[in-house]
């Protein structure tokens, strides 16, 4: 970790959030409900649009095998795996509402920022990560409520679809289009300026992590005992590591024709879940549920942990990609050196 400035920055952001969470929580001085949603996320996709060659983005959009793998795992395999896990955990001391929250977590779409930055930091297929993050988020607006109805059996949903689509267009699609215009018109000027886009993107992720933990530390409605809290955190960390290992191993196997760079994008996009879309959905659908705070805990824990584990795995994936370039062949991803 001493060689990973990105990961150390995440730890610093968490510590700062703990010191005074009111600064970066909703309604605080930093106004994350505006600065994160409309500035940080939009800037990340603007940078992706500026730095990505149009040809690479076009090729990535046409990679339907890769997109089907990511979205299929996100909205089908992931919920099935968690459903089986929750069925086993029902016989433990965990509160039923907490287990329902884990099921809700499994139905959520991918985030619109963290997977892109982590994929880019490693040197993976950034274009594929950009497309799957944007496409998955939009798909989740329809698919996630459908999965919730399918699992919980409630059809009384009143989601503001138009508002969510509009916000996604402003946060993701529009900045990406503007970035591509800049890339194709002022590309030479951009290169002469030597702007540190990678560093800017990582700093924005640190800001998102900081405000996320500020919101988490500021919440006072947690009705969870210490043992359940520790066990849930341990369970989420172990589960994420297992899913990352499974995706990286499977996507780099001979069963598929994915490149190592594709495997990196698949691993991050397939394991990450959106907090910015997930929490509003839970609050809207389960507004009258007395255990609403317990339902949101798994997602509130999962989101920062996914960024922390992603940051800690950057050097591992980066070294693996370098090894593949030297060998010029694609074996399965090996976690034995972790």
Q: Is 50 exceeded by the pLDDT of residue 22? A: yes
46: CB partners within 8 A, 6+ apart: 175, 176, 178, 179
Q: Is 60 exceeded by the pLDDT of residue 6? A: yes
Convert the pLDDT of each residue in 156-203 to its tens digit: 555 666 776 777 788 777 888 888 888 888 765 556 567 777 788 778
DSSP per-residue codes, 137-157: HHHHHHHHHHHHHHHH-----
Distance, C-alpha 40 to centroid of its chain: 14
Convert the pLDDT of each residue in 255-313 to its tens digit: 888 999 999 999 999 999 987 677 767 766 776 677 777 787 888 888 878 888 888 88
Q: For residue 1, what pLDDT band results from cuts at 50, 70 and 90?
A: very low
**Rg, the chain, Cα only:** 19
Confidence at residue 158, expressed as pLDDT on a 0 to 100 scale: 59
Q: Specify the long-range contacts of residues 89-93, CB closer than 8 Å, at least 24 apart.
A: 93/227, 93/228
Q: What is the reported pTM? A: 0.77
- The average confidence (pLDDT) of the chain is 81
Convert the pLDDT of each residue in 96-134 to its tens digit: 888 888 999 999 988 767 788 889 888 889 889 988 888
Confidence at residue 45, expressed as pLDDT on a 0 to 100 scale: 78
Confidence at residue 250, expressed as pLDDT on a 0 to 100 scale: 93
Distance CA 251, CA 230 (A): 32
Residue 3's Cβ-count burial label (10 Å; 0-12, 13-18, 19+) is exposed
Q: Specify the long-range contacts of residues 182-186, CB closer than 8 Å, at least 24 apart.
A: 182/49, 182/50, 183/49, 183/50, 183/51, 183/52, 183/53, 183/54, 184/54
Residue 58's Cβ-count burial label (10 Å; 0-12, 13-18, 19+) is exposed
Domains of the chain (ranges, CATH numbers): 5-323 (1.20.1530.20)
* Sign of the alpha-carbon torsion through 301, 83, 245, 115: negative
Q: Is 60 exceeded by the pLDDT of residue 329? A: no
Confidence at residue 170, expressed as pLDDT on a 0 to 100 scale: 81
Q: Is 70 exceeded by the pLDDT of residue 337? A: no
Average pLDDT over every residue of 1-16: 72
Confidence at residue 137, expressed as pLDDT on a 0 to 100 scale: 81
Tokens of 199: 């560093």
Convert the pLDDT of each residue in 199-244 to its tens digit: 887 788 788 878 877 877 776 666 667 788 788 889 999 999 999 9
Residue 306's Cβ-count burial label (10 Å; 0-12, 13-18, 19+) is buried
């Amino acid at each position: 970790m001493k060689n990973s400035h990105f990961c150390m920055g995440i730890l610093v952001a968490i510590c700062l959030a703990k010191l005074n969470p009111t600064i970066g929580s909703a309604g605080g001085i930093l106004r994350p409900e505006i600065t994160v949603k409309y500035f940080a996320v939009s800037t990340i996709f603007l940078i992706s649009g500026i730095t990505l060659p149009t040809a690479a983005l076009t090729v990535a959009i046409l990679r339907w095998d890769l997109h089907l793998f990511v979205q299929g795992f996100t909205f089908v395999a992931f919920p099935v795996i968690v459903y089986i896990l929750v069925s086993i955990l029902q016989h433990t001391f965990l509160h039923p509402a907490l287990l329902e929250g884990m099921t809700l977590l499994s139905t959520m779409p991918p985030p619109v920022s963290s997977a892109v930055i982590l994929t880019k930091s490693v040197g993976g297929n950034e274009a594929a990560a950009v497309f799957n993050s944007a496409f998955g988020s939009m798909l989740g607006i329809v698919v996630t409520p459908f999965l919730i109805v399918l699992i919980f059996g409630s059809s009384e949903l009143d989601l503001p679809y138009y508002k969510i689509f509009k916000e996604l267009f402003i946060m993701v699609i529009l900045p990406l289009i503007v970035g591509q215009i800049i890339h194709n018109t002022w590309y030479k000027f951009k290169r002469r300026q030597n702007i540190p886009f990678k560093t800017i993107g990582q700093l924005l992720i640190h800001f998102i992590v900081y405000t996320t933990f500020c919101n988490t530390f500021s919440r006072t409605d947690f009705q969870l005992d210490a043992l359940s809290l520790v066990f849930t955190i341990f369970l989420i960390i172990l589960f994420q590591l297992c899913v990352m290992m499974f995706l990286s191993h499977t996507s780099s196997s001979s069963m598929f024709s994915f490149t190592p760079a594709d495997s990196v994008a698949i691993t991050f996009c397939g394991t990450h879940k959106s907090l910015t879309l997930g929490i509003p959905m839970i609050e809207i659908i389960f507004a009258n549920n007395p255990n609403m705070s317990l339902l949101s805990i798994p997602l509130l824990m999962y989101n920062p942990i996914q960024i922390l584990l992603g940051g800690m795995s950057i050097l591992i994936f980066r070294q693996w990609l370098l090894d593949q370039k030297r060998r010029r062949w694609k074996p399965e991803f090996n976690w034995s050196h972790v």
